[in-house]
Amino acid sequence: MLLTIQNLQKTYGNGVKALDNIDLSISTGMFGLLGPNGAGKSTMMRTIATLQDPDEGSIQLNDINVLESPTELRKVLGYLPQEFGVYPNISAMELLNYFATLKGISSKKERGEMVKYLLEITNLMDARKKAVSSYSGGMKQRFGIAQMLLNNPKLIIVDEPTAGLDPAERRRFLNVLREIGSDHIVIFSTHIVEDVQELCNDMAIMNQGKILLRAAPTEAVAELQGHIWSKLIDRESVESVSAHYQVLSTSYNPDNSLNLRVFADGSPGAEFREVQAELQDVYFTYLNGFKS
């Protein structure tokens, strides 16, 4: 499977350019679309999912012209938006069975087998008789995956799926995505660097409607090796130090001092030490325009 996006552009009525000449090719596997809130990620997800039209550009999924044949795309699409509807006071098993009927699975036996399989892979089998409305946020997200897999989609889009989940729920959700990612094109939109680091073998960093970087996470980190430097500073020095270096991040130490990480082609000074690059360094390097 191959999703090809060419020259995708969208400008809203208020002048905000949400998509600025986006070109991407995405194949089977987990693809991370990483960027801050307001980067244009959700606009791109909704456009690919045929929920809004671009001003210009084309989207092709194998032989489906997505913008010209949205109905054909929807037959093979699974979409989990950042916000989704309120579920009724019905058990997960009953609700999945109902949705399966709506999606044309007429055989009771086939529906039963499909529902059982989806409850198992989303780790909801033990809670199958509970009302979905009573589920935690993470359980609702996993139910959302079960629901969207009913039509065996070829393309899966999940938009900010772990926002607001506690660590345990986030772990369960990511494990479900990891399991389904090997057989589908899964576009995973998020502002959480750790999610992309854990799940994705391919990614893009997006901001202000533009793609800033397209690379495999491991390759992007490898390219920054030798350019990341660290120094301990006190809190009072943050502003003055930041004015002189390309600062990526700061983090507190137990003694209340700060660990400063900067991007530089060579040693920024005697007190700096070279450290191993991380995906978070890649993210902030490109967001801040230190590298292009």
Per-residue pLDDT of the chain (292 residues; tens, 9 = 90+): 899 999 999 999 999 999 999 999 999 999 999 999 999 999 999 999 999 999 999 999 999 999 999 989 988 998 888 766 667 788 999 999 988 887 778 889 999 999 999 999 888 999 999 999 899 888 888 888 888 888 888 999 998 878 777 888 888 888 888 888 778 899 999 999 999 998 999 999 999 999 999 999 999 999 999 999 999 888 777 787 778 899 999 888 887 788 899 999 999 988 899 999 999 999 999 999 998 7
Q: Classify residue 112 by burial, with Cβ atoms within 10 Å: 0-12, 13-18, 19+.
A: middle
Contact 158, 187 (CB under 8 A): yes
CA distance 292 to 289: 6
CA distance 91 to 226: 54
Contacts 24+ apart (CB under 8 A), 52-56: 52/10, 54/8, 54/9, 54/10, 54/19, 55/9, 55/10, 55/11, 56/7, 56/8, 56/9
CA distance 140 to 125: 13
Length of the chain equals: 292
- The DSSP bridge partners found for residue 185 are 29, 155
Please calculate the CA angle 128-129-130 and round it to the nearest 5 degrees. 95
Give the pLDDT of residue 242. 79
